[in-house]
Amino acid sequence: MSRAVTAAELGLLRCHVCSQLSRAAASQREPRCPRCGAGLHLRKPSSVSRSWALLVAAMILYVPANTLPMMRTSSLFGSQSDTILSGVVYFWTSGSWYLALIIFFASIMVPMLKMIALVLLLVTVQRRSRWQVAQRARLYRLVELVGRWSMLDIYVVAVIVALVQLKALATITPGAGAIAFGSVVVLTMFAAMTFDPRLIWDASEDDNG
Amino acid sequence: MSVPLVACHECDLLQREVPLPEGGVARCGRCGAELYRDRPASLDRTLALAAGALLLFAIANSFPILGLALQGQVIHTTLYGAVHRLWDEDMKSVATLVFATTIAVPAIELSALAYLLLPVRLGRLPPHFTHVFRVLQAVRPWGMVEVFMLGVLVSLVKLAHLAGVVPGIALWSFAALMLLMAALTAVFDPRALWKAAGALARPAAPA
């Protein structure tokens, strides 16, 4: 088998929108895809620092997302606040253990594991590590795939708040936790999109060239 | 260029583009990411599914998703109603997020697909083809109909403890829409679309 050659080594740019390969003319400062007109880059511009910025913001908001209430129930008998975790506990104790597991995974495990995975990917890329390259590439694929499922709790809040508005008996209002939680999901999705997985492989090419 | 080449979108490895058997998948030799896939009759199937999905989308957004029956009184909500309620509760960012991921993005995605594919299938290149394609690719990760569907089911179980829950027409439409959207992702082949569009742009020059 011949040595692995990347498009970048040959000065070929791959369009991230339409996959077209093209060569940038030396005179062009901001090359554009000849087929679809999208801006071209060898690697996503300042991918690591942008991804870090979004990730740190998400980590900070993860704290209020888990401590502030997602929903507030007020009725004749008083009021009650529900965080994500107390929602999980509620389902667990009321016998719907499968729902408790779904929410626990989607709302607590997925965002946390996603942030840990992104930290791992960013740190190893910055250190130009050659450790477990194929496994890290697989990890990135997984992060991109599962991140969206964290939106689950936001939709639950939206539907329940819209339905439970019996002014006389009980009302459920959304809590500030929902804003923080929604921001965590959006920020981690952006952080994963900004990260360029090709950087994982770039380090392994340093020594065979 | 004499040999058709592809670069892996995950590791940038340059590889020769080979024709695939029916239903075959080309994977990157280094990182295993999917490079491209043979999707038979991609344009026709995508168009058919997009038309069906647009219809379901209209139904899903015009009828109530769930109703809550309590003391002889039933309260319904549509998806837009839920967004509106969040907005009124001063949760404007959350309302925007729900609106974007469940209404705006699927609407843009489906209409963009129809806009790009129908004229191309009829042998015409629609105006602003490349811009619409770029919008389509940019919004696709943000459509979350399937996650919303799971959210509705979780709410359904949660509310069933409080009062009688009445599933609405939109609940079934959303379930069907979710399946069609998943099928769309499986059959839509951007490569086939670019090939067809390229042939229309340069009818005289064979590729």
Per DSSP, A106 falls in state I
Per-residue confidence (pLDDT) for residue A94, from 0 to 100: 86
Do B114 and B27 sit in the same domain of this protein?
no
Q: Is the same domain home to B70 and B25?
A: no
Interface-testing mutation among A159, A186, A200, with chain B (most B C-beta atoms within 10 A): A159
Best A2, A160, A195, A208 residue to mutate vs chain B (most B CBs within 10 Å) = A160
Separation between Cα atoms, residue A21 and residue A11, nearest integer Å: 10
pLDDT tens for residues B159-183? 888 788 999 999 999 999 999 999 9
pLDDT tens-digit series, residues B65-76: 999 887 778 888
Complete DSSP assignment for B56-103? HHHHHHHS-SEEEEETTEEEEE-HHHHHHHHHHTT-HHHHHHHHIIII
Q: Is B182 found in the same domain as B91?
A: yes
**Same domain, residue pair B25 and B66:** no
Shared-domain flag, residues B176 and B75: yes
Other beta carbons within 10 angstroms of residue A110's beta carbon come to 20
Name which of B6, B8, B12, B70 to mutate to probe chain A: the one with the most chain A Cβ atoms within 10 A of its Cβ: B12
**Distance (Å, whole) CA B45 – CA B40:** 9
Q: Is the pLDDT of residue B197 over 50?
A: yes
As a whole number of angstroms, the distance between CA A134 and CA A145 comes to: 17
- B97 interface with A at CB cutoff 8 Å: yes
Q: Is the pLDDT of residue B123 over 70?
A: yes
Residues B131 and B57 in one domain: yes
The reply to whether B77 and B98 lie within a common domain is yes
Same domain, yes or no, for B9 and B111? Answer: no
| Phi, psi dihedrals of residue B198, rounded to the nearest 5° | -65, -40
Residues 6+ apart with CB under 8 A from B158: A91, A99, A156, A160
Quote the pTM value: 0.91
Quote the number of domains for chain B. Answer: 2
For helices A152-163 and B79-88, give the axis angle rounded to 10 degrees: 80
B76 and B161 assigned to the same domain: yes
Q: Are residues B55 and B145 in the same domain?
A: yes
Cβ–Cβ < 8 Å for A202, A48: no
Q: Give chain B's mean pLDDT.
A: 92
pLDDT of residue B125: 94
Residues of chain A with pLDDT under 50: 1, 209
Query: Is B139 part of the contact surface with chain A (CB cutoff 8 Å)?
Result: no
Kindly tell me if the per-residue pLDDT of B202 is higher than 90. no
Amino acid code (one letter) for B74: V
Binary contact (B141, A148; C-beta < 8 A): yes
B2: pLDDT strictly greater than 60: no
Instruction: Provide the 3-class DSSP secondary structure of residue A167.
Output: coil
- Write down the pLDDT at residue B160: 87
CATH code linked to domain A46-205: 1.20.140
Q: Residue B120: in which H helix or E strand, if any?
A: helix B105-121
ipTM reported for the complex, 2 dp: 0.91
pLDDT, one tens digit per residue, over A56-81 is 999 999 999 999 999 998 887 788 89
* Beta bridge pairs of residue B34: B27
- A28 phi/psi in degrees, rounded to 5: -75, 125
Question: Domain limits at B88?
Answer: 41-201
The pLDDT value recorded for residue A120 is 97
State residue A200's pLDDT score.
93
- Percent of chain B past pLDDT 70, that is, above it, reads 96
Burial of B22 (0-12, 13-18, 19+ CB in 10 A): exposed
Considering only CB atoms, which chain A residues are within 8 Å of B157? 96, 99
Query: pLDDT tens across B137-154, in order?
Result: 999 999 999 999 999 999
- Cβ of A8 and B12 within 8 Å? yes
- CB within 8 Å: B159 and A179: no
B197 CB neighbour count, 10 Å cutoff: 21
Spatial contact of B93 and B116, defined as CB atoms under 8 Å apart: no
Q: What is the dihedral of CA B34, B35, B36, B37, to 10 degrees?
A: -30
Q: Give the alpha-carbon dihedral of A27, A30, A31, A37, to 10 degrees.
A: -140
Per-residue exposure over B88-122, b if at least 16 CB sit within 10 Å of its own CB, e if not: ebebebbbebbbbbbbebbbbbbebbbbbbebbee
Q: Report d(CA B156, CA B58) in Å as an integer.
A: 22
pLDDT band at B1 (very low <50, low <70, confident <90, very high): very low
**Computed from CA positions of residues B3, B137, B61, A101, in that sequence, does the dihedral angle turn out positive or negative?**
positive
Q: Say what the pLDDT of residue A1 is.
A: 44
Q: What is the pLDDT, as a whole number, of residue A168?
A: 60
Whole-number Å distance between alpha carbons of B75 and B165? 10
Identify whether residues B92 and B14 lie together within a single domain.
no
Same domain, B27 and B96: no
Q: What percent of chain B has pLDDT over 90?
A: 81
Q: What is the pLDDT of residue B4?
A: 85
Residue spans of the domains in chain A: they are 1-42, 46-205
For residue B44, what pLDDT is reported?
Answer: 95
